[in-house]
Amino acid sequence: MSRRIQSRLSPKAWRLYDGRKLLTPAHIDARTGYRYYGPEELDRARRITLLRAIGMPLADIADVLGVSGPQAVSRERRVRRREARPVARGRAGRAEDGVTAALREGR
């Protein structure tokens, strides 16, 4: 299964996140420039996708991903309070619940 299907990120998003140092490839082919991502990068891509789904800006995502476990949950909640954006239940609410669970588990 391709990394795009597993992460739901477009090639453009992979390049953007690499450019912003959110998602660095495991390896870049020196000859072709092709970026290779492993399981750890795929897991990080999923976390970014979840955080974007609840409307978190990329700068805040970098801050949240800089830590793991309870610290990440605390940071994610602090960012949400600071943003003071009400999140509608439904798809965004489920995404928010998924983010909190994923961060708590350190994924």
Q: Specify the pLDDT at position 30.
A: 95
- What does the alpha-carbon distance between residue 69 and residue 73 come to, in Å, rounded to a whole number? 7
Calculate the average pLDDT of the chain. Answer: 76
Domain boundaries, the chain: 3-102
Contact 47, 9 (CB under 8 A): no
Contact 54, 80 (CB under 8 A): yes
pTM: 0.62
Q: Specify the pLDDT at position 104.
A: 66
Which alpha helices (H) appear in 1-69, and where do they start and end?
3-7, 11-19, 39-53, 58-65
Low-confidence ranges of the chain (pLDDT < 70): 1-7, 67-73, 75-76, 79-107
Contact 45, 23 (CB under 8 A): yes
Q: Specify the pLDDT at position 64.
A: 81
- Tell me the CATH number for domain 3-102: 1.10.1660.10
